Amino acid sequence: MKILILKALTVTSLVLISSITNLAFTQSRTSTISDTQIPYLAMGKGNSERSMIVTNPILCDEAPGPCRFFIRHVQAHRQSNHLILPPHAYPASTEAKADCFAAKNSNAQDVIDAYELLMQPDKASKYSIPGDLKVRAENIKTCAIKANNWIGNNIEG
Ligand SMILES: [Zn+2]
């Protein structure tokens, strides 16, 4: 009898633990915090179980479209189960995948705004965007066109 009760208790606590874990995961998917000290528009922090999106509200006020685009980009890393790393730590191929997701799943105007920012490296340098920015811009455009989410000029650029 004692063993049965113990077993029942163990099962109950396991169920409880898993529901708490699920809750934490659900919350981590939506939590966004502000930090004016980060040199990026947006970045991920935390680990695969507890993560958050950190945005710089000063930089995001200056570049709201690219900010929303890069928030999507961070969400893409999480949805693809990429490790949560500082933006400069990702290989270019991983960045390209996250950019492609954001190009497909962002507001079309935000995609254009991000593209145009990346095409102006002097302007973009303020936001510490890593990698070859023109290569990233072209990839974003290609992905957006494929997803029917490109409202810019298809010929030029
Ligand atoms: Zn990234």
> If you measure from the C-alpha of residue 75 to the centroid of ligand 1, how many angstroms do you get, rounded to a whole number?
9
> If you measure from the C-alpha of residue 7 to the centroid of ligand 1, how many angstroms do you get, rounded to a whole number?
45
> If you measure from the C-alpha of residue 5 to the centroid of ligand 1, how many angstroms do you get, rounded to a whole number?
49
> If you measure from the C-alpha of residue 79 to the centroid of ligand 1, how many angstroms do you get, rounded to a whole number?
12
Handedness of CA 128, 100, 55, 50 (dihedral sign): negative
| Residue range 92-103, pLDDT digits in tens | 999 999 999 999
- Spell out the domain ranges in the chain: 1-30, 33-146
| Residue range 72-121, pLDDT digits in tens | 999 999 889 898 999 999 999 999 999 999 999 999 999 999 999 999 99
Predicted TM-score (pTM) of this structure: 0.79
> If you measure from the C-alpha of residue 140 to the centroid of ligand 1, how many angstroms do you get, rounded to a whole number?
13
| Structural element, H or E, at residue 10 | helix 2-30
Three-state secondary structure of 64-101 = HHHHHHHHHHHHHHHHCCCCCCCHHHCCHHHHHHHHHH
**Greater pLDDT, 5 or 48:** 48
> If you measure from the C-alpha of residue 95 to the centroid of ligand 1, how many angstroms do you get, rounded to a whole number?
5
| Residue range 39-52, pLDDT digits in tens | 999 999 987 678 89
